[in-house]
Structure 1
Amino acid sequence: MCMLQSVSAAQFPLPTDGDIIGEVQTRIALHEDTFADIGKALDFGYLEMVAANPYVDAWLPGEGVEITLPSKYILPAGARSGIVMNLAEYRLYYYPKDKPVVYTFPLGIGREGWSSPISETRIVMKTPNPGWTPPKSILREHEEAGDPLPAYVPPGPDNPLGPYKMTLALPGYLIHGSNKKFGIGMRVSHGCFRMLNHNVLELAGLVQVGESVRIINEPYKLGFKGKQLYLEAHTPLDDHGQPSVVDKHAMVMQLLLANEGLQDRANIDWDRLREVVAEETGIPEVIGELI
């Protein structure tokens, strides 16, 4: 780990020696710090901050406490092109066509009953300063909760879509900003994908209409850096975006088997693998190396 130098909306060069980007950093908490505030300032989601700091109070870390910033990632498996959103990770990756870099941003996803889809789609429209016409289902939900919504919310600080929306080819689904202080990196939306406002503005300036979008749900990611084999473990979610009761070690074994011949090519530390799966810190950890 290294002490915090600077963290911003993350842009990393594509690795030439494997699948790992970034480095874990630390920050010494100030008296007024909370995980939500640190995440908003440094582009981390709330739950990834909690996972990386299991023994720190998220709402009152305490002045002088060292906080881990999970700014190291294994790139998702599959094509490194367009936008890739990993639900289990609460994170978006963007690979531009014109330079060998990757951007990554925290993401809010759908809560129970309003799950975010797993799909391959594309951006069909970009809209700055959007207004919001709540669908009937959301109007009904708020009405039943005693919190009625107007039929239309104009652009501005009260608009839940924030300063920008990107419409997906999936009917009813958007990537957008937010008018709420909290909720990025959590299961909070009605199925859409929320970003910090400065992040959604940056992404909107990078992508074009027609950009491909791949939505995945992969709690475990394997990757190499040189000869070292890494595992990144997140809490598995079910198809409704909720924590899933699954055989986690079986899922990891399936992932290892899917990488044909990997167990013959690498010495795997099985005790360390089990520890990483149990801890679910979301930080890539070495579990073996190539023979």
Structure 2
Amino acid sequence: MPQPPFDPRRRRLLQALGALPAIAPALARSDPLETARTHLYRWPTPANGDALVGRTHVSIVRDGETLHHVARRFDLGYWDILLANPDKDFWLPGDGTPVIVPRRFILPDTPRQGIVINAPELRLYYYGEDGRHVDSHPIGIGRQDWGTPLGTARVTEKIPQPAWYPPASIRAEAAARGERLPREVPPGPDNPLGAYALILDLPGYLIHGTNRPAGVGMRVSHGCVRLYPEDIAALFPQVPRGAPVHLVHQPVKTAWSQGRLWVEAHPLPTDQDYTAKDLRFSERERNAHATRISNEALERGHLVDRNRVAAVLERPTGVPTPVTGYD
């Protein structure tokens, strides 16, 4: 297949990502005590049909951080932080710069059990077995030519310190780039599966860690779902064998909370999307989503604020926004 012209924005992004190993110590800043991190990703499961969890707040860039550092500090991914801060320089936001931290989420419209993966949102949810809490983590998923499948699956096996056996298709892709992949990559820093892997009953698909955390929140994998090393370490011991996995496509989520209808929008990125200005719904998609949102409000006797609905769909931020009632 002929390759499209190389986009200069992609070149700059890849060059910057290539420089990340030099700043790896800073990227790895995470509290070794997992109990000190649970407030970043765990909330009580809402009751009475509510589906809104967490809160959005503002943090300050410090110590030469990039937006990637800020995102990882708050357990967010690439598109999470980028959509919420479209006018900030991703690599040089500047010390002292206020940054929106989008940690409020509408839970996907799925059974509240096991693992839920919402592909457009690039986010995983896990409902604890006791039903009392829900955890949420950013993920990396398959790029367009290696898409992550949708549907229902189950966790069939849990493997700590997994070895990686690159399939023939991936070895062929590497060979086309002039690289040679071994048939087995043992556990360790060069293993792209990281330290833990959850095997699904979808042949060849896993939920795992990564040795390249900069790709979390992007479409960069060969179809598997990758998490930050600290997130897979927290998730792995909780998930039992046999746990259900719901893989869904819900780019626009809605929820009734506090007597108002809230909307959260996440267009699915493509391989050619790099900035917040790139990531948009088509006019046809916007019209369809706007109609659905308006009808949902009407069913409860409410009228939406059409300007707010238009703003949410035309410039998605990934932040839940009320579209009925008044502030």
TM-score (normalizing by structure 2): 0.81
Q: How does 1:71-82 map to 2 (within 5 A)?
A: 71-82=103-114
Measured on the aligned residues, the alpha-carbon RMSD in Å equals: 2.2
For residues 10-29 of structure 1, what are the structure 2 equivalents within 5 Å?
10-16=41-47, 18-29=50-61
Distance 1:194 1:8 in 2: 21
Among 134, 138, 153, the alignment partner of 1:121 is 153
The question of 1:277 aligning with 2:308 is answered: no
**Structure 1 unaligned regions, length at least 5:** 1-5
2:272 and 2:130 map into 1 onto residues whose CA distance is 33
For the Cα contact (< 8 Å) 2:119–2:268, is it kept in 1?
no
Q: Which residue of 2 aligns with 1:89?
A: 121
| One-letter amino acid of the counterpart of residue 269, structure 1 | D
- Structure with greater contact order relative to length (CA < 8 Å, sep ≥ 6): 1
- Which residue of 1 is the match for residue 225 of structure 2? 193
* Identity across matched positions, percent: 36
More strand as a share of residues: 1
What is the one-letter code of the residue matched to 2:323?
A: I
Q: How far is 1:267 from its partner?
A: 2.2
Distance 1:29 1:179, change over 3 A: same
For residues 116-154 of structure 1, what are the alpha-carbon distances to aligned partners after superposition, in whole Å with 9 as ceiling and x for unaligned? 011111100100000001000000000101121111100
Native 8 Å contact 1:133 1:153 kept in 2 = yes
Aligned pairs for 1:41-56 within 5 A? 41-56=73-88
Greater mean alpha carbon deviation, residues 71-80 or residues 26-35: 26-35
Q: Deviations over 1:188-214 (max 9, x none)?
A: 100000000111111111110000000
Amino acid corresponding to residue 114 of structure 2 in structure 1 = G
Residue 90 of structure 2 is matched in structure 1 by 58
Q: Which runs of 5+ in 2 are unaligned?
A: 1-36, 274-278
Range that drifts further, 95-104 or 180-189: 95-104
CA separation in 2, counterparts of 1:64 and 1:7?
Answer: 26
Answer yes or no: is the 8 Å Cα contact 1:116–1:241 preserved in 2. no
Query: TM-score if structure 1 supplies the norm length?
Result: 0.91
Amino acid at match of 1:105: H
More helix per residue: 1 or 2? 2
Q: Aligned in 2, Cα 1:144/1:26: closer, same or farther, shift over 3 Å? A: same
The match for 1:70 among 102, 113, 119 is 102
Identify the residue that residue 6 of structure 2 maps to in structure 1.
Answer: none
Structural mapping, 1:1-291, within 5 Å: 8-16=39-47, 18-236=50-268, 245=282, 247-253=284-290, 255-256=292-293, 259=296, 262-289=298-325
Question: Corresponding residue for 2:34?
Answer: none
The superposition leaves residues 220-263 of structure 1 with CA deviations (integer Å, 9 ceiling, x where unpaired) of: 0001112011000112458x99867462223314543774x744
Matched position secondary structure for 1:201: helix
| Counterpart contact for 2:213–2:227, Cα < 8 Å | no
1:241 and 1:89 mapped to 2: Cα distance?
A: 17
Aligned length: 283
Which letter does structure 2 place at the counterpart of 1:165? A
Whole-angstrom distance in 2 between the partners of 1:281 and 1:197: 26
